[in-house]
Structure 1
Amino acid sequence: MRIVKNNKLFKRLLIIFLALVVVACVVVPIPYYIEEPGETIDLKELITVNNQKDNDKGSFSLTSVGIRRATVFSALKAKTEPFHEIISMDELTGGASDDEYMQIQEFNMETSQNFAIEQALKLANKSYEMDYKGVYVLGVEDNSNFSGKISVGDTVTKADGKSFTSSEEFMKYVKAQKVGQKMTVTYIHDDKVKEATEKLIKLPTDKKPGIGITLTDHTEIDSQDEVKIDAGDIGGPSAGLMFTLEIYEQLSDKDLRQGKKIAGTGTINSDGEVGRIGGIDKKVASAAASGNQIFFAPNDEITKEMKKAQPGIKSNYEEAKAAAKKLKTDMKIVPVKTVQDALDYLAKMK
């Protein structure tokens, strides 16, 4: 009788254990993420120019990659689904902390918007000025004496009380000092002006003095034409091209789309060049599922160095074409190197 009771107890405990394992596999996150087709968003919903909305037919849409924390169950499921990819935390963030990664993504989005507005204003022959706000901090070296004070996402505005008009001018001043010399850096952290005084270090790249940060210009557009972009929690620089086209459509009052649904991706810079992005196959899948007829893809150059580092690497355009073929979609993939390439295609479109 005792043996029978023990067997029943063992079975119950085993069932409970297995149930807990199943729940853990489904619910408990693991240190991996799943990249998958995200949203395709009509930019009419996000952008207004001079307080007016775009009411013309057709659409310019940004495309996105969805990212979610993986569980054992979702990771195994993702292995069987097309256009789903499992990546590590380091692959996603580049070794940055979650907060640093989000700060960088927000800055990349802000910069993308500024470049897009600038390009659209140029194309529409509208006047504007570029206001320099300071040096944006993209990274802080571990051996920097300013580590723990200056953080990713801060904006450096002065060095030893001196202001600058570009990051190049800022770096020129710092490099003209001496290794070990103390420098007072003024910076903005969480909208508060702060100061830190520390010794300069010797940079491993050129052996010159530096404060040990990765930096870029922090600028804003000043124009009589008011452009508002409400991107919500979308981050990164990859919507630059599509932002540019939508803003230009509104500024110029031209019917660029001719009623067609047009999606795409690609960074934009101050010269109007369209740059490479990640996850383009997932963006093609998202755009096709949303019924878009045309997809603009960066036709980026693959250098010998890139091929050596990543054998088999393809341009964004080649990746997009392969994804469209796999999907068996009629959506036309159009290669672009500049925003003007996209405009030229739209002008000839039937």
Structure 2
Amino acid sequence: MKTHKKIILILSIILATVAVWAAVLVPLPYYIESPGGATDIRQVLMVNGEEDQEPGSYNFVYVQVRQATALQLLAANFDKHSDIYTDEEMTGGSSSEDYFRISQFYMETSQNLAKYQGLSLAGKQVSMDFFGVYVLSLAKDSTFKGILNVADTVTSINGKTFQSSAELIDYVSSLKLGSDVTVGYESLGEKRTADGQIIKLDNGKNGIGIGLVDHTEVKADVPIEFQTAGIGGPSAGLMFTLSIYTQLADPTLRDGRDIAGTGTIEQDGSVGDIGGVDKKVISAAKAGATVFFAPNNPVDKEVLKENPQALSNYDEAVKTVKEEGLDIEVVPVTTVQEAIAYLEKTKDK
């Protein structure tokens, strides 16, 4: 009888140990997004072959994403600044390789637009060639599913070429639902065409059912080099632009301040919204930044219909600063010019 009890006790200990081990170490098909950190842009950017040695810093901020264990999921449920996503929600159904590639495309586009804006604002000669749009995803009902693939570049629609993705989208949305359409594209270095039909998209507009981002290349006499291997996404666009402009046009613009911020950058200088701004302003404050630029665009009407409590990036950042008692000033911007104007106005003259 004693032997039987010993066996049960040993088995219980083993099962308990395995359960604890699984809870701590075994990854589940869930991801946790939480505050990450901030990086001085000088670590990844070189303008005109010269180091930026002026006091202060420009910092881009990022979130931490990790595949979760059971114990981490439990902890994340009690942290209002940690968000939990399923594998499908995080990758959009893409493979890990495609997800990484998509993230790199966003970073590439962000860097090209930052170069273009930074050089233009600094009065330098610059041009940007538009080659088409990278395919990031295909809708389940797209007639091009199984034909176009992630990383292909769509170069024409019905033989027409475009100067921006906005032009391409406007043209495609003007075509009649169900009408035939021919897509010109490049895949693995080969030029190809494919035929399909116009479908109704989830946003109610007509289209061919692809997720896209610009495939561009900037040409200028001023060399600008990025070293961002392993870093993805478009949200550093504003800060990249400020760094390029400052080095070329106004080296003392930072005035010794440690400045952080987030937001995409567009060809016209407008600053676009990003996700996870609450986590990013926390990251900026923890890194010692005293200023945080946040996009201040109106919340989309469709978003407000689904969530009347939705906040703009700026309002969410301000709310987080107040709730967490952070020592950082949140500055609203809708264009890179507004960020420059703020820095000029607040220099210690």
- 1:41 Cα offset (Å): 0.2
Specify the alignment match of 2:304 in structure 1: 307
Distance 1:347 1:61 in 2: 18
Q: Which moved more, 1:100-109 or 1:245-254?
A: 100-109
Specify the alignment match of 1:225 in structure 2: 222
Equivalent of residue 35 in structure 2, options 28, 34, 37? 37
Distance 2:227 2:236 in 1: 13
Specify the alignment match of 1:201 in structure 2: 197
Distance 2:170 2:321 in 1: 45
- 1:255 Cα offset (Å): 0.8
Specify the alignment match of 2:237 in structure 1: 240
Q: Please, what TM-score do these two structures have when normalized by structure 2?
A: 0.88
Distance 2:66 2:12 in 1: 32
- 1:337 Cα offset (Å): 1.4
Q: How does 1:192-341 map to 2 (within 5 A)?
A: 192-193=189-190, 195=192, 197=194, 199-204=195-200, 212-341=209-338
- 1:175 Cα offset (Å): 8.1
- 1:216 Cα offset (Å): 4.5
When residues 107 and 148 of structure 1 are mapped into structure 2, their CA distance, relative to the original with a 3 A threshold, is same
Task: Name the amino acid aligned to 2:260.
Answer: A
- The answer as to whether partners of 2:178 and 2:199 remain within 8 angstroms in 1 is no
**Residue 342 of structure 1 pairs with residue 346 of structure 2:** no
- The answer as to whether partners of 1:136 and 1:215 remain within 8 angstroms in 2 is yes
- The one-character-per-residue Cα deviations of 1:229-251 (angstroms, maximum 9, x if unpaired) are 21221111111110110011111
- 1:104 Cα offset (Å): 2.3
- The answer as to whether partners of 1:57 and 1:258 remain within 8 angstroms in 2 is yes
Distance 1:184 1:261 in 2: 47
**Overall identity of the aligned pairs, in %:** 42
- The answer as to whether partners of 1:83 and 1:285 remain within 8 angstroms in 2 is no
- 1:135 Cα offset (Å): 2.7
- 1:194 Cα offset (Å): 5.4
Which residues of structure 2 form unaligned runs of 5+?
Answer: none
- 1:290 Cα offset (Å): 0.9
Equivalent of residue 129 in structure 2, options 119, 128, 131? 131
Aligned to 1:133, what secondary structure does the other structure show? strand
- 1:152 Cα offset (Å): 1.7
- The answer as to whether partners of 1:164 and 1:170 remain within 8 angstroms in 2 is no
Distance 1:334 1:267 in 2: 15
Count of paired positions:
343
Specify the alignment match of 1:55 in structure 2: 53
Distance 1:159 1:252 in 2: 40
- The answer as to whether partners of 2:30 and 2:85 remain within 8 angstroms in 1 is yes
When residues 142 and 129 of structure 1 are mapped into structure 2, their CA distance, relative to the original with a 3 A threshold, is same
**What CA RMSD, in Å, does the superposition of the two structures yield over aligned residues?**
2.7
Q: How does 1:149-228 map to 2 (within 5 A)?
A: 149-157=147-155, 164-166=161-163, 167=165, 168=167, 172=171, 183=182, 185-189=184-188, 192-193=189-190, 195=192, 197=194, 199-204=195-200, 212-228=209-225
- The answer as to whether partners of 2:38 and 2:287 remain within 8 angstroms in 1 is yes
- 1:220 Cα offset (Å): 1.1
- 1:261 Cα offset (Å): 0.5
Aligned to 1:30, what secondary structure does the other structure show? coil
Q: How does 1:94-109 map to 2 (within 5 A)?
A: 94-109=92-107
Distance 1:334 1:120 in 2: 20
Q: Please, what TM-score do these two structures have when normalized by structure 1?
A: 0.88
Larger Rg: 1
Distance 2:269 2:183 in 1: 37
When residues 51 and 302 of structure 1 are mapped into structure 2, their CA distance, relative to the original with a 3 A threshold, is same
- The answer as to whether partners of 1:178 and 1:200 remain within 8 angstroms in 2 is no
Specify the alignment match of 2:68 in structure 1: 70
Specify the alignment match of 2:13 in structure 1: 15
Which residues of structure 1 form unaligned runs of 5+?
Answer: none
- The answer as to whether partners of 1:273 and 1:337 remain within 8 angstroms in 2 is yes
When residues 56 and 158 of structure 1 are mapped into structure 2, their CA distance, relative to the original with a 3 A threshold, is same
- The answer as to whether partners of 1:201 and 1:212 remain within 8 angstroms in 2 is no
